[in-house]
A and B are shown apart, each in its own frame.
Chain A
């Protein structure tokens, strides 16, 4: 393991070699182990969030299915595709760095950045949609809609919702979190698959309580925003890394002798992708069959 030279003398002549190392092999091994350790701590960091998600998903599956159904699987799926392709271009960046091909490196970094930016753009569209529909879980952070005189939908019980009717703009003068559809609770009650926590959590005096159900959907959206928000923050850090890589690659500094920064940034980029690969099915796909049949 130890790759100090056996001569007993210190020497450092190679370019890019830092003073504390004996040779490039030792430096590369150190940097690589360091990056993997960093990713281990990232896994534990997101692990806390995934644990919280699993706890509440198993407690309130209908609320999570209902919230999940309002996310747009098209945008989520598109973003998944975008990120997977960006992982390909990232891997090609490392490949061309190892081949000392400066021009292709630059092109691949630019493509990776473009895909990363596309992802964030789509995320913005999605967040904006949540803002417009009163789905941001923080009070006052939603679009404020003045109350209308004709509030016919409020007289109906919350589980009698026509999913094919055009979306109604609910009045939301204070920008609160809103959720009016508890048809899934009725369905689960009729077919007998409510969990124990749900039997307490959605009902008041034996009746479905729209407000209590809304609070559980709000927990889903809270986790949605924290998880995708922290992921997006990691994407922004990734884009900053890519900008730096672009400058160094533009100067032609990476070659078959020195490409560790590219490879390490690549590991980080792939890690952020993989987090999304778990976020997408958990947030967008699980429980869709409750509402869309099947």
Chain B
């Protein structure tokens, strides 16, 4: 069964998910996971831009030690809102709701997610939660830090804590429903022959993420609900003046928000597994290890929340246990890193734009992960807590990890999503700019933090040089992030047709047309090959197609 995968399609334009209806209603009432993913993509991008504007304001303010651009109160609001928008409205939905929604059902050979109406509902909940939050931010915003620590948030802050809290509460259910849908879909919607161990590793990563979403998000929901009630009713369990416990809030908050850190990295790791294996044209090394390390991260991720509270008065013994478990949770991440490296060894690596992001991820996540161990070491962390070292660490994981993986995934699946190819030249330029700009922004912050520059307020003049480096880097990073917006949009208008399988890959998503038809496949696929199978067992003549491609381009 050797398909001629480079054959050109001639005749009238094929009916696909984009051209089978153009009315607003056909979008807003769609049950098609692909259209829902596109609507998520647009909304998520808007939130990313809004969060980016706040980030620019922070970096501009930090050019000088004096508070000349923003007053202190405004500055508090700006970094709080940067955190809230980026975490709850960009990072958490980014890969699952956009890429997962679009590609996961196709990857497993399903016509749609198992519960399409629930999928649409989750999008609407996301919109309502987002609109609620944006309204609160426009009314005057919130200044508590994205962590909403009590009793400042319950008693003293004079800003829109309750409204923003409710926005996050509502938005949480969007995340829960997406996770629920993915779990059901992976269990029941796999095509014939698509066994658990033939699933692409992206699907395993999404499954692990979904577990965290279902088990963790309800806890943050009840926590912010209690916070909102407490603020409204002026009584509650977090108020120390009547015998309540503000530290309990931190426990409940981090019980979700630490696992949520893995919602913000596991899907990225899934994308990277795809990119590294496919662009090395080599079967992934240690498939089972990568698959189970995702599950291990999801499980251990629930046991380490106390490492956010080393200096908030928890007992020494709790601190020791949390420190130990923090070291343990690094192991599955390291397993992935080693396996990706081993996959690239003696592979036939092509440096296309997605792979540049993939390699960039490996470098940046390595630094982000290892500095996490510094912060988990119970002695060193006392020195580093609440300094810029922490800021640099989690930006290396979240931006260097998730955002880079998200961009890599967008470039990788763009031809499938839109049927159009973007400019490879500009793609590579922007990937390089992002990498260089990111390092220039955040590496100086490690040094600043180690020297003692605190988070969330101003710094002494001797730290100014490194802060200027950081702001300069942020400008480069900004250009690198705006470029894709331009050339990806341009590709929609004048990009050349991508073809069904532009990268010559064996995955199921590359065996349907680009863009895919509404029900994803014209004929129900039957899977007879293992994941990342580049040989003849894949049923495709990938090497032959690749040879033709190179003949054609020479």
**Contact surface of A with B, Cβ cutoff 8 Å:** 1-10, 18-21, 26, 29-31, 33-34, 37-38, 40-42, 44-49, 51-52, 55-56, 59-60, 137-139, 177, 197, 201, 212, 215-216, 218-219, 222-223, 226
Contact = CB atoms under 8 A, between A and B. Distances in A.
A228 to B, nearest CB: 14
A48 B223 contact: yes
B118 A9 contact: no
Given A40-B215, A226-B229, 16 more contacts: A1-B190, A10-B519, A10-B524, A20-B113, A21-B114, A30-B114, A33-B188, A34-B115, A44-B214, A44-B219, A47-B219, A48-B218, A48-B223, A138-B234, A219-B237, A223-B237
B202 to A, nearest CB: 18
A26 B194 CA distance: 15
Given A137-B233, A222-B236, A226-B229, A20 B189 contact: yes
B112 A33 contact: no
Interface centre among A1, A9, A26 (most CB of B within 10 A): A1
Contacts of A10: 111, 519, 524
Given A45-B218, A52-B248, A222 B237 contact: yes
Interface in B168-204: 176, 179-181, 183-185, 187-192, 194
Given A215-B242, A216-B243, A20 B192 contact: no
Contact of B524 (A1, A4, A26): A4
Contact of A139 (B179, B181, B234, B252): B234
Contacts of B242: 215-216, 218-219
B171 to A, nearest CB: 15
Nearest to A46: B222
Nearest to B524: A8
Given A2-B190, A26-B188, A215-B242, A52 B219 contact: no
B219 A48 contact: yes
A11 to B, nearest CB: 10
A240 B235 CA distance: 31
B49 to A, nearest CB: 31
Interface string B508-522: 000000000001000
A37 B184 contact: yes
B244 A44 contact: no
Given A20-B112, A52-B237, A2 B184 contact: no
A41 B113 contact: no
The 9 closest A-B pairs by CB, nearest first: A48-B222, A45-B218, A215-B242, A20-B112, A44-B218, A30-B114, A138-B233, A30-B188, A37-B180
B252 A48 contact: yes
A44 B221 CA distance: 10
Interface class of chain A by DSSP: helix
B243 A60 contact: yes
B217 interface: yes
A55 B245 contact: yes
B523 interface: yes
A208 B116 CA distance: 60
B210 to A, nearest CB: 9
B506 to A, nearest CB: 19
16 contacts: A4-B190, A4-B524, A26-B188, A45-B218, A47-B218, A48-B218, A48-B219, A52-B237, A52-B248, A55-B248, A137-B233, A215-B242, A215-B243, A216-B242, A218-B242, A219-B244
A45 B218 CA distance: 5
Given A20-B110, A223-B237, A37 B183 contact: yes
Nearest to B179: A37
A30 B115 contact: yes
Contact of B194 (A2, A139, A222): A2
B526 interface: yes
B96 to A, nearest CB: 15
Contacts of A5: 524
Nearest to B521: A10
Contacts of A49: 222, 226
B358 interface: no
Contacts of B112: 19-20
Contacts of B229: 226
B216 interface: yes
Nearest to B518: A19
Contacts of A45: 218-219, 221-222
A4 B185 CA distance: 13
Contacts of B176: 41
Nearest to B187: A33
B111 A20 contact: yes
A145 B111 CA distance: 65
Given A52-B248, A56-B237, A139-B234, A42 B218 contact: yes
Contacts of B236: 219, 222
Contacts of B191: 2, 4
A177 to B, nearest CB: 8
Given A9-B523, A45-B221, A218-B242, A37 B214 contact: yes
A44 B216 contact: yes
A33 B243 contact: no
A30 B176 CA distance: 16
Nearest to B183: A37
Contacts of B114: 20-21, 30, 34
Given A1-B187, A20-B116, A48-B252, A41 B218 contact: yes
A51 B188 contact: no
Interface centre among A6, A10, A20, A218 (most CB of B within 10 A): A20
Interface centre among A4, A21, A40 (most CB of B within 10 A): A4
Interface string B227-269: 0010001111100001111001000100000000000000000
A179 to B, nearest CB: 12
A222 B118 CA distance: 34
Contacts of B192: 2, 4, 6, 8
Contacts of A44: 214-216, 218-219
B380 to A, nearest CB: 30
B549 to A, nearest CB: 29
A2 B215 CA distance: 25
Contacts of B215: 40-41, 44
Contacts of B111: 10, 19-20
